Amino acid sequence: MLLIPCPHCGARPENEFRNAGEAHIARPAEADDAAWADYLYMRTNPKGVFIERWRHIHGCGRFFNCVRHTVTDRIIATYKAGDPRPSLDVLRAWSEHAR
Amino acid sequence: MKFSLLSLARNAVSGQTAGPAQWRSPQPRAVYDVVIVGAGGHGLATAYYLAKEHGIRNVAVLDRGWLGGGNTGRNTTIIRSNYLWDESARLYDHAHRMWETLAQELNYNVMFSPRGVMMLAHNVHDEQVVRRHIHANRGNGVENEWLSPEQAKAFCPPLNISSDMRYPILGAALQRRGGTARHDAVAWGYARAASAMGVDILQNCEVQAIDRDATGRAIAVETSRGRIAAGKIGVVAAGHTSVVMAMAGLRMPLESYPLQALVSEPVKPCFPCVVMSNTIHAYLSQSYKGELVIGAGTDAYVSYSQAGGLHISAHTLDAICELFPMFRRMRMLRNWGGIVDVTPDRSPVIGLTPVPGLFVNCGWGTGGFKATPGSGHVFAHTIATGTPHPIAAPFSLERFRTGRLIDEAAAAAVAH
């Protein structure tokens, strides 16, 4: 079971949360069928550093973003929904750290 | 060497020393007509049917590790075809029919055991869903029948049907010709038969890149054992499909999760069939070695850890203890995880990709083992002819653009 640091409530066990999949997927303002399929169904599903959303359903109820390594499951950082996605350089440095 | 009663007797008196290696371990050639990425059951079956039914024998099957070392060796070996939708029923029943003669086909004992798969209903909604499945299955020529709690207990005596359970049993669906098979033997049998027809099985050969020519066509794979050119490439990499397809610049409708299974200490035969409960999430059978083989759920998050959280398997054991009180003091021997590739509609993807020369067979999620022969059979046809096999056609990658999904998740015939 993961210990997940909610940016609002602090570290809590995984079963207080619901996973909400890949983060930073923006709904396209206008989309043809291919772009719409990409938005709805296609996922990065990386083996390595991954940014995902969690919702603290049995706590503050809020969504937030989480950077996690999908091989070690180590959580590298969490940040509030709406905050900008960490830059590639930052992610690369985190990735080295989380191996 | 062909296995027969005579060869068995000869081995018995010669101290089991006459058994040669079951497949060749050749050096990679520079060029193959078809390269299959992933030497699990589905990949090996694909190579076998390419060689046998389509005469394409210049084939290599590559694997990052050893053959059958991924989900083929990690699943709970359940075989059934009681899926709701017509497309699924056709696909899984195609595979199911092939299981029935697979040992003879491969001259290898895959220990197919049609002992019956029983799926429990615990509430009114379950009962309605189960009955709907039974009718749909029968309409598709797939036998499935409704059992009362008493009939279910007669079929599976360890079952607890008392009314004071937290989730009492209101009935069950029974597919009598469902059952189990020996998972490793399936990989070994296909490997042996394919190798005998000239297919090269290249283990410890990790694909690191996919080369494409100026027109965008996939023409070769770069591997840890050198570059291998290929007329066509078929990716059958289960939980790692997204990783391999990203090498060709493709995003897939897949998310990879650890799915857990566990086995108990071995005991004498005491459990006659396969029992599944989607609602309280447990599935159980007893292997010929005597171990209880138990399937647990997936973790809630994308991961390649091949482990999974302990609370997931503990949850399943809670359900097992309630359903089968006689197992409350059983000790579990080991548990493990396999990485399953789950699609949004919980149906597989079999077919062509936007990259010419590149084919994919993935998305079997939590239930691919049962489909192994059929999956290999229709995928071999798809690769050999360049057009999807009629049974595989609805399972195209294109369905996510057209919206013609095959929504087995909502249909709930699948164990998750």
ipTM: 0.93
Final residue before a domain boundary, out of B289, B318, B342: B342
Rounded (10°) angle between helices B183-196 and B41-54: 30
Instruction: Report the C-alpha gap between B2 and B8 in whole angstroms.
Output: 10
**Is residue B17, in this structure, part of any structural domain at all?**
yes
Final residue before a domain boundary, out of B342, B366, B381: B342
**Is residue B153, in this structure, part of any structural domain at all?**
yes
Same domain, B48 and B65: yes
Cβ neighbors of A88 (< 8 A, separation 6 or more) are none
Mean pLDDT over A28-42 rounds to 95
**pLDDT the model gives residue B410:** 58
Final residue before a domain boundary, out of B325, B342, B359: B342
**pLDDT the model gives residue B18:** 65
Contact B374, B391 (CB under 8 A): yes
**pLDDT the model gives residue B103:** 97
**Is residue B58, in this structure, part of any structural domain at all?**
yes
Same domain, B165 and B205: no
Q: What percentage of chain A exceeds 70 in pLDDT?
A: 95
**pLDDT the model gives residue B413:** 41
Could you read off the pLDDT of A49-82 as tens digits, one per residue?
A: 999 999 999 999 999 999 999 999 999 999 999 9
CATH 3.30.2270.10 fits A3-98, yes or no: yes
- Provide, as residue numbers in chain B, all residues whose Cβ is less than 8 Å from the Cβ of A46: 242-243, 246
**Is residue B25, in this structure, part of any structural domain at all?**
yes
Return the residue matching tokens 């550093």.
Answer: A49
Q: Where are the domains of chain A?
A: 3-98
Cβ neighbors of B109 (< 8 A, separation 6 or more) are B3, B103, B182, B185, B189
Question: Residue A87: pLDDT band by 50, 70, 90 thresholds?
Answer: confident
Same domain, B247 and B265: no
**pLDDT the model gives residue B411:** 57
**Which chain B residue lies closest to A54 (C-alpha atoms)?**
B301
CB atoms within 10 A of CB A13: 12
* A46 part of contact set with chain B, CB < 8 Å: yes
Are B252 and A38 inside 8 Å of each other by CB?
no
Indicate the residue type of B343.
Answer: T
Q: Return the CATH number at B266.
A: 3.30.9.10
**Is residue B91, in this structure, part of any structural domain at all?**
no
Same domain, B158 and B229: no
Are B402 and A33 inside 8 Å of each other by CB?
yes
Same domain, B238 and B368: yes
Nearest Cα to Cα of residue B371 among B360, B382, B383, B379: B379
List, as ranges, residues 1-20 from A with C-beta within 8 Å of B.
Answer: 1-2, 14-15, 18-19
**pLDDT the model gives residue B217:** 97
- Provide, as residue numbers in chain B, all residues whose Cβ is less than 8 Å from the Cβ of A2: 301, 309
Same domain, B275 and B333: yes
Same domain, B190 and B298: no
Same domain, B195 and B130: no
Sign of CA dihedral B296, B88, B104, B117: positive
Same domain, B165 and B259: yes
**Is residue B110, in this structure, part of any structural domain at all?**
no
Same domain, B197 and B169: no
CA distance to partner chain A, nearest, from residue B79 (Å):
28
The two tokens of residue B220 are 């070769």
Q: Which domain holds residue B236?
A: 5-75+183-253+344-412
Cβ neighbors of B47 (< 8 A, separation 6 or more) are B34, B36, B59, B61, B190, B194, B199, B201, B376, B380
Are B255 and A2 inside 8 Å of each other by CB?
no
Same domain, B234 and B337: no
- The gap between the terminal CA atoms of chain B, to the nearest Å, is 41
Question: Residue A90: pLDDT band by 50, 70, 90 thresholds?
Answer: confident
CA B233 to chain centre: 21
Could you read off the pLDDT of A39-58 as tens digits, one per residue?
A: 999 999 999 999 999 999 99
CB atoms within 10 A of CB B18: 12
Return the residue matching tokens 């709690």.
Answer: B149
Q: How many domains does chain B have?
A: 2
**Is residue B27, in this structure, part of any structural domain at all?**
yes
* A30 part of contact set with chain B, CB < 8 Å: no
**Is residue B99, in this structure, part of any structural domain at all?**
no
* B18 part of contact set with chain A, CB < 8 Å: no
Same domain, B216 and B351: yes
Q: Return the CATH number at B244.
A: 3.50.50.60
Give pLDDT tens digits along chain B (416 positions): 788 898 888 888 888 776 778 999 999 999 999 999 999 999 999 999 999 999 999 999 999 999 999 999 999 999 999 999 999 999 999 999 999 999 999 999 999 999 999 999 999 999 999 999 999 999 999 999 999 999 999 999 999 999 999 999 999 999 999 999 999 999 999 999 999 999 999 999 999 999 999 999 999 999 999 999 999 999 999 999 999 999 999 999 999 999 999 999 999 999 999 999 988 888 999 999 999 999 999 999 999 998 899 999 999 999 999 999 999 999 999 999 999 999 999 999 999 999 999 999 999 999 999 999 999 999 999 999 999 999 999 999 999 999 999 998 655 444 44
